[in-house]
Amino acid sequence: VTTGHDAPVATATSTGGGAAPVAVGELVAAARDGSVRAIARLLTTVENGGAPAGAVAAELTGLPRPAEIIGITGAPGAGKSTLTGALLHRLRSGSDGRAARTVAVLAVDPSSPFSGGALLGDRVRMAEHVTDPGVFIRSMSSRGSLGGLSAGTPAAVDLMSALGFDVVIIETVGVGQSEVDVMHLADTVAVVLAPGMGDGIQAAKAGIMEIADLLVVNKADHEGTKAAVRELKGMVALGRSGVAEAGSWRIPVLATVASDGMGVDELVAALGEHRQHLVSSGELARRQARRAGAAVESVVLERVRRALAGPAGRRELAAAADSVVAGRIDHHRAAQGVIDWLRSPPAAD
Ligand SMILES: Nc1nc2c(ncn2[C@@H]2O[C@H](COP(=O)(O)OP(=O)(O)OP(=O)(O)O)[C@@H](O)[C@H]2O)c(=O)[nH]1
Ligand SMILES: [Mg+2]
């Protein structure tokens, strides 16, 4: 079945005309010195993908990446953005006996291939930090314009780490596989729920319990908090949240009121404990490898999609489809032919 659907794809495939390496080097230097404009330009470049994004990645090779990467996900409306704002505030003012840390926040929306819109409210909520040079906040989409996890998302996380931010917070909106994909980029994942009927069950169904390192019942000023905490502790005790392979880590269940900061110190402490666990158990290295693997995979898939969406790629697919319809070859052999073509495409048209 052909859909006759013309993908809305930019035809420029970014061969040639890539950003000059010197300019990229200067941008990276300026960004590491704290220039917000340079950081924003680099982020846009890696989000857009293609050869310029490759040039940025090359420039970042070998730089230390000390950032703690924290994922915040959970039920819609549970207070993820408010909690991110509260966490930001605490990390910036220094807490837990530590100095103030620099923080990058990437608010990632898997439901839309475009940024903006739904996340505007989040920007407003974090408005107190807009003039703070130690904070960088950006919303972005996690889905590439050609489908799948955008190569820009892993690249953005890596960029923030390589630019020297102490903490990178990834907040996702929405529920589902793409959210899980995004959270696989984090070292520590906090799943945020609000008290209410069967929240834990819903989260379990959505597959986000399995990725939780910390469980947070936010809106603890609402009724049902104790019941929700009890339900979640029960699920943890029964091993429902499935991080048993991570060894001795016992998932804490915390209660917060993000809107007034209650419980945020405890959250910061729990994040620190998980960090120590990651280091001492060797799990940190495994998660770093998982993140690097996701970055590589996303570029591979993006390049395949780009190649197939271009005029030559569409012709190649159409020819393969004709052969299958005519009964000359089966679709597996046709696919192999397309893969061979991808490995050595004739000069682009
Ligand atoms: N009472 C109370 N309200 C809260 C608390 N935390 C957040 N809120 C409110 O709950 C609403 C939703 O908060 P958000 O932070 O936007 O929630 P979110 O999870 O980011 O929402 P989405 O991104 O749309 O999924 C807002 O009106 C907040 O002010 C809390 O601890 N207690
Ligand atoms: Mg939000």
Report the amino acid identity of residue 17.
Answer: G
Q: How many residues does the chain have?
A: 349
Q: Whose CA is nearest to atom 17 of ligand 1?
A: 79
In this structure, which ligand is nearest to the CA of 258?
1
Q: Which residues surround ligand 2, an ion (CB under 5 A)?
A: 80-81, 122
Residue 26: C-alpha distances to residues 21, 35, 159, 260 (Å): 9, 11, 15, 41
Query: For ligand 1, which residues put their CB under 6 angstroms from it?
Result: 76-82, 173, 218-219, 221, 257-259
pLDDT at 55: 95
Coil, helix or strand at residue 190 = strand
Dihedral angle sign, alpha carbons of residues 207, 209, 210, 216: positive
Report the amino acid identity of residue 91.
Answer: L
State the Cα–Cα distance between residues 21 and 52, nearest whole angstrom: 9
Ligand 2 centre and the CA of 77: distance in Å? 7
Q: Which residues pair with 191 in a beta bridge?
A: 73, 215
Tell me the Ramachandran region of residue 167: left when phi exceeds 0, alpha when psi lies from -120 to 50, beta otherwise: beta
pLDDT at 48: 87
Ligand 2 centre and the CA of 234: distance in Å? 27
Q: For 303, what's the count of Cα atoms within 13 Å in the CB-facing half-sphere?
A: 14
DSSP for 210-273, written as a single string = GG-SEEEE--TTSTTHHHHHHHHHHHHHTTTT--GGGTTPPPPEEE-BTTTTBTHHHHHHHHHH
Direct distance between the N- and C-terminal alpha carbons of the chain, in angstroms, rounded to an integer? 27
State the Cα–Cα distance between residues 32 and 25, nearest whole angstrom: 11
pLDDT at 39: 95
Residue 145: C-alpha distances to residues 14, 50, 141, 179, 348 (Å): 15, 13, 9, 17, 21
State the Cα–Cα distance between residues 73 and 281, nearest whole angstrom: 24
State the Cα–Cα distance between residues 154 and 182, nearest whole angstrom: 8
Ligand 1 centre and the CA of 108: distance in Å? 17
Question: Which pLDDT tens digits describe the chain residue by residue (349 residues)?
Answer: 333 333 222 223 334 444 444 489 999 999 999 899 999 999 999 988 889 999 999 999 999 999 999 999 988 888 999 999 999 999 998 766 678 899 999 998 755 544 443 444 454 455 566 678 889 998 887 766 555 567 788 999 999 999 999 999 999 876 677 778 888 899 999 999 999 756 666 666 666 678 899 999 999 999 999 998 998 888 888 775 554 444 689 999 999 999 999 999 999 999 999 999 999 999 999 999 999 999 999 899 889 988 999 999 999 999 999 999 999 999 999 999 999 999 987 665 5
State the Cα–Cα distance between residues 8 and 26, nearest whole angstrom: 34
| Predicted model pTM | 0.85
CA nearest to 114, candidates 75, 71, 144, 138? 144
pLDDT at 199: 61
pLDDT at 95: 62
Q: Which atom of ligand 1 is nearest to the CA of 76?
A: 25
pLDDT at 96: 60
Specify whether the CB–CB gap between 83 and 256 falls below 8 A. Answer: yes
Q: Per-residue pLDDT tens for 182-205? A: 888 999 999 999 997 566 666 666
pLDDT at 132: 80
Q: Per-residue pLDDT tens for 152-166? A: 889 999 999 999 999
CA nearest to 339, candidates 296, 307, 291? 307
pLDDT at 287: 95
pLDDT at 15: 41
